Chain A
Amino acid sequence: MGLIKFLKEKFSKKKEEKELTKQENNISEVNEQNDSKLEENNNIKKEEDLNKLNDNKNSDFDLKKYDKGLEKSRKSFADKLKSLSKKYKKVNQEYFDNLEEVLIEADVGVKLTLDVIQELLEKSKKEKLEDPEEINELLIDILFLKYVKENEDKNLELKFGSKNPTICLIVGVNGVGKTTSIAKLAYRYIKQNKKVLIVAADTFRAAAVDQLEIWAKRINCDIVTGLNNQDPASVLYKGLEKAKNENYDLVIIDTAGRLQNKVNLMNELSKMSKVINKLSPDSIKETLLIIDATTGQNGVLQAKSFYEATGLTGIIITKMDGTSKGGIILSIRDELGIPVRFIGLGEKIDDLELFDLEKYLYSLCINKD
């Protein structure tokens, strides 16, 4: 995947840069004339890197949609960075204070922001960076490296076994977009020729089942429903039986929205998770938490509680087409290590993409026009 490549390049680029600066020092002592040549080298190197980066972007998937969806969130963030770098020819403490503001306003959270800014300060001092543009680049680097984990599977698609259906449980607080995300997810895998079954186990919210039924009809997906206020675990049971008997590849389970501090409701969720383990012990189990991009610092508590109740294999961040920046996913990753798998970029059925960190960070931080 692109991420690994990108990471490798990042590392190697760093090394080279370090060596270059070393050389630079030596050379400048010996001969000043060589400097211009070196700069040229440097530029070429950077251009190459940029080209590689672009190649990655184009080959991986449709960047345009990503860009369009993120346009609004990107704009304000990137504009801020841009206007910052215009304002300052050289960086000073105030510049870093302003960066801090930009990060916090993106909901990145105080703790992580302070960590990142501290690291940025140290690194930029070490590398003697003073150009705001370069500092901004470095900021993205730091955010990137903080997120990436070495031994992690870089393929973010849902996992499929050879025999048993993959069971995907969707959880989250109220109003984050669980039902819509499920429709999008189902559509995504139907397009990949998987046999998908939706289980409407939100038996609590009024008309939640109707909402899902309408979606299922639109995308031509099978669905198992229960009655209002029926025990969701029993609907789940019905769904899992059907999936097993009729050879489905993927079962996506909708659950009622619940605030993470409601002990009983969280227990109910744990129970559902246990039912899945018991009924389909050999299935690959995915549990995805839906996080609304507008969520503030409470997102970390959400992730923590749901993680404790059901275990989580990833996050879908929704509503990224608005002006919110969803920085909370970086805090969640930092504190709990849960990766973002998908990103919701609009209201249409195909507005769900694999999460791509480099694109996320770049489209947030760099304005192309």
Chain B
Amino acid sequence: MAFENLTEKFQRIFKKLTGQGTLSERNMQEMLDEIKVALLEADVNYKVVKDFLNDVKQKAIGQEVLTKVNPSQMITKIVYDEIVELLGSNKTEINYNKNKPTIIMLVGLQGSGKTTTAAKLAYLMKNKLNKKVMFAACDIYRPAAVEQLKVLAKQINVPVIHEEGLSAVDIAKKAKEVVYNEHYDVLIIDTAGRLQIDEALMNELNQIKKEVNPDETLLLVDAMAGQNASEVASTFNEKVALTGVIMSKLDGDTKGGAALSVAKLTGLYIKFVGTGEKISDLDIFYPDRMASRILGMGDVVSFVEKVKDTIDEREAKKQAMRALKGQFTLDDMLKQLKQIQKLGSLGGVLSMLPGMPKINDEQKQRVENEMKNFEIIMDSMTLEERAYPEILKNSRKVRIAKGCGKTAADINRMLKYYDQAKMMMKQFKNKGGFGGFGGFGGKFPPNFGGR
């Protein structure tokens, strides 16, 4: 969608607000309106947005704007913190019983990912926590649902309890007996998808609950779910008393605002998120990352953390100083490239950066290739050339091209990028920016990686 992201919008609004020292109702309103739209576009429920922004407003009014930030950054931080708090802590893993099996029941709408998630959970518990796991296949309605669980179970070598002709309740009961008798650690009950308003099927869930008394009843929420997710979660919670939520399909490009609606309305925490189609693609939930994602501001926090771990601070400082003085050489650029490569796949880093939401996988791949090219080219340059790229004339370019097996056009493209990165450095110097990160912290030069 051709929506501006929140960061861009804020930059626009911010221009009007420069120099205002305190947050007031008036100067906040436009930003709050933008945040409202951003949250709605992220599928956070309308009522939740309304309540939520009211809370934020109450908290923000009268706060002094810290000297180093602008009002929009201030508001963003307040909103962000508030979302993180609502989404809860990330220490929400499952509590395992010590002397008896832990029973987990998965519930949700049709197609929300119960069966796949059951397999992922089992894999995680079995392989990472060394638990002895068993499935109960209680979806007796959808054609081949049991078969689906059986196929997945076989891949990870987990037994399945199911018997043709038995009711879902009886299957669960039987499974409970088996896990108790055979000393399993965990029983995962896969149930049929159902509408929250289907009385008969909701009763079935309660029956199962009564018979097997699960330690956890987890609701699957599709990350792509819209406004109605809040009602679904509330009703499920009312009728079967949930203990937590798993959000599936978060590897898509949806913002996942449903997470916020569900958290606000049910007070339940998200325990896991599904992040891919492989059986190992189940991750614990990070409220801070989710908050940035919902706000559409890139995964700033994770990025900063990752950067901190990887980069030698002193080196970064040295570079920052040089950059601030305007001495940004090809060498500096190469160092930056290498540091960024150390962060792992550039694609991953890029997707975490604010201001880069529209890059797709293909483009990411292209940028990554481009970076590799630069490095190869620079390896064929003399130290002098790297320090003073201005001296690169045609004859030198031909030599370098021969040396690295690239064309002169490749070299020119790199130099063009260097010029742009240098320009950005200067801009950062003037505005004060992303510390040692200069060229890569904020944005890539506009045509970087493009053709």
Residues of A at the B interface (CB closer than 8 Å) are 72, 101, 104-107, 109-111, 173-177, 204-208, 210-211, 213-215, 259-263, 292, 294-302, 304, 319, 321-325, 327-328, 335
Contact = CB atoms under 8 A, between A and B. Distances in A.
B142 A175 contact: no
B144 A325 contact: no
Interface of B: 1, 3, 37, 40-43, 45-47, 109-113, 142-145, 147-152, 195-197, 222, 224-229, 231-232, 248-249, 251-255, 257-258, 277, 360-362
Contacts of A208: 144, 148
B405 to A, nearest CB: 28
Contact of A323 (B197, B251, B361): B197
Nearest to B108: A175
A259 B249 contact: yes
B46 A298 contact: no
Contact of A105 (B46, B148, B195, B252): B46
B227 A104 contact: yes
Contact of B249 (A174, A299, A328): A174
Given A259-B251, A319-B110, A110 B40 contact: yes
A105 B227 contact: yes
B347 to A, nearest CB: 11
A296 B144 contact: no
The 3 A-B pairs with the shortest beta carbon distances in the complex, nearest first, are A296-B226, A175-B111, A296-B43
A301 B249 CA distance: 15
Nearest to A72: B197
A295 B144 contact: no
Contacts of A173: 224, 249, 252
A266 B222 CA distance: 20
Contacts of A328: 226
B43 A298 contact: yes
A325 B111 contact: no
A261 B150 CA distance: 29
Residue of A177, A294, A301 ringed by the most chain B CB atoms within 10 A: A294
B253 A298 contact: yes
Question: Looking at chain B's contact residues, is the secondary structure mostly helix, strand, loop, or mixed?
Answer: loop
A174 B109 CA distance: 13
B252 A211 contact: no
B228 A175 contact: no
A259 to B, nearest CB: 4
B360 to A, nearest CB: 7
B437 to A, nearest CB: 26
A301 B144 contact: no
B1 A214 contact: no
B228 A325 contact: yes
B195 A321 contact: yes
29 contacts: A104-B227, A105-B46, A174-B111, A175-B222, A175-B249, A206-B147, A207-B148, A208-B144, A210-B148, A214-B144, A259-B249, A262-B251, A292-B222, A294-B228, A296-B226, A296-B227, A296-B257, A296-B258, A297-B226, A297-B254, A298-B43, A300-B1, A322-B109, A323-B195, A323-B228, A323-B231, A324-B226, A324-B227, A328-B226
A295 B143 contact: no
Contacts of B277: 174, 204
Nearest to B109: A294
A297 B42 contact: yes
A301 B253 contact: yes
Nearest to B119: A206
Contact of A301 (B1, B196, B231): B1
Contacts of A327: 226
Given A296-B226, A323-B231, A210 B144 contact: yes
B144 A323 contact: no
A200 to B, nearest CB: 11
A298 B225 CA distance: 8
